[in-house]
Structure 1
């Protein structure tokens, strides 16, 4: 059912694995390396077609300074935080409660309600572009930070509920039963018994949702316009010149935009791995 561990494979398979793994890793990292090198190039390198060669000059200070001095990238980054942080808090907070209800309480329609949460993740988001945009316009929240954040909370809660419900299902139900025998109310059971055990899952889910929302480009372009509301992913387009594409500045801006989720992952790495692997083995 599961792939055989590489340690138990034949010697030729092990040799092929040792060769294929670094090759696949290099191929996967090539675009990132190209962007990093381009962010150090001069405009002359771009105009002469030196895309993959060694930069003729390293303009790291000039390029990274220019994107902050000549473009509103600082505002775009602030907008991303204003969208991402409320979304993480809202989606994870709601999913803790919905996951608890679906995992602990057995009521008629429990499974159907759970499937409804999950079913939303299978709808292609492209077909929702027009109705979602029209809905935000009718509510008066189009081209607003709050509108984009509310939209992301609504759409991410389904996936988060799936994650939390399955995590809580793996917890010992005897803890809940023991608390009920002691006369503890359901709210206190959730707050003092179940929620502390969910900390690894909350940390892992927060990292995932932070990355998803921070890197969102499609809905940022559909639901926002202008530097006052657009996140960094949509705002990177403004780093291009009017007549000539300033790819060195776009690359520098892309590196800056990628830093917050990378930093958050490394800060939360221990909790992230614990949340994903807790309950994997008995």
Structure 2
């Protein structure tokens, strides 16, 4: 008879939980501050949505902050048809989509030359582009208006046969004012890309265009997505330049469509709130689709180097 040693029972040990970090008062204050800022930004939007769901006579009788007696979506259908939003959406897309694409393309060209090519005065050039963003656009209203009326265009580009009152004029002004900011951001991002990648491609015989298009630009997708979101939002929400540089009502962007909801003697502000929500909806959709790339574009460059 042989005796066997007892096999010790296996005990499952859970990995020790990492120690909790102590709660810092400054971090708590930071989160409270950020929550208050977010609440301050969301409150007007929430009030607009709330007002758009209530009849005007109810809010006039009980007040905008009262509890609702009846909620309806009728105002959205009325605002969609009365403000002629589909036509104004199309006008905005004709202006914004080419404006964003041209701005990012030209800015990436210039940023590549500043960050990757050893051209003389590239730092000064970057400072000039950055300083151009400090000029208030209101200063240029009168000179630009005069200049736009004097620059001729063929009839197929402008009904007025001038740069004034044309889609091309609005696209150019958006590109001009957003170009410097995009160059500054993209150039700083390109500097975070290791220089060895560019040198290896140069040794393999890659030209300037190939290094830009096939090597550097694909690595800049996060920052390009972040800038696309910002540029779309800024150009979409523009009202000043369309008001100054356009006179035809059927060419105006969607931000001016809300004027169609104002009456001569009476304005239904609940209907106006519904129209405002519909006008703001595309920017929310674009940000929701690109929010991951937007956050990555803002943080990726800061973690390199």
TM-score if structure 1 supplies the norm length? 0.90
Give the alignment of 1:190-209 within 5 angstroms.
Answer: 190-209=212-231
Match of 1:52 in 2: 65
1:109 aligns with 2:121: yes
Match of 1:82 in 2: 94
2:83–2:257 contact (8 Å) kept in structure 1? no
1:46–1:247 contact (8 Å) kept in structure 2? no
1:266 aligns with 2:288: yes
Q: How many residues align?
A: 274
Match of 1:279 in 2: 301
1:76–1:227 contact (8 Å) kept in structure 2? no
Q: CA deviation at 1:43?
A: 2.6
Instruction: Give unmatched runs, 5+ long, in structure 2.
Output: 1-20, 152-161
1:127 aligns with 2:149: no
Q: Which one has the bigger helix percentage?
A: 1
Q: CA deviation at 1:197?
A: 0.7
Instruction: Give unmatched runs, 5+ long, in structure 1.
Output: 1-6
The separation in 1 between residues aligned to 2:275 and 2:252, in whole angstroms, is 15
Match of 2:111 in 1: 99
Q: CA deviation at 1:70?
A: 2.1
Give the alignment of 1:1-282 within 5 angstroms.
Answer: 10-11=24-25, 13=26, 16=29, 21-48=34-61, 50-60=63-73, 62-139=74-151, 140-282=162-304
Report the CA distance shift for 1:81/1:49 in structure 2 as closer, same or farther (over 3 A): farther
Q: Deviations over 1:112-160 (max 9, x none)?
A: 2212211110001111111122222222122222211111011111111
1:202–1:275 contact (8 Å) kept in structure 2? yes
Report the CA distance shift for 1:101/1:48 in structure 2 as closer, same or farther (over 3 A): same
The separation in 2 between residues aligned to 1:275 and 1:177, in whole angstroms, is 24
TM-score if structure 2 supplies the norm length? 0.83
The separation in 2 between residues aligned to 1:15 and 1:116, in whole angstroms, is 40
Q: Deviations over 1:151-210 (max 9, x none)?
A: 101111111111111111111111111111111111111111111111111111111100
Question: Could you say which structure has the larger radius of gyration?
Answer: 2
RMSD value over aligned CA atoms? Answer: 2.0
2:83–2:258 contact (8 Å) kept in structure 1? no
Report the CA distance shift for 1:281/1:24 in structure 2 as closer, same or farther (over 3 A): closer
Report the CA distance shift for 1:178/1:83 in structure 2 as closer, same or farther (over 3 A): same
Match of 2:13 in 1: none
Report the CA distance shift for 1:111/1:229 in structure 2 as closer, same or farther (over 3 A): same
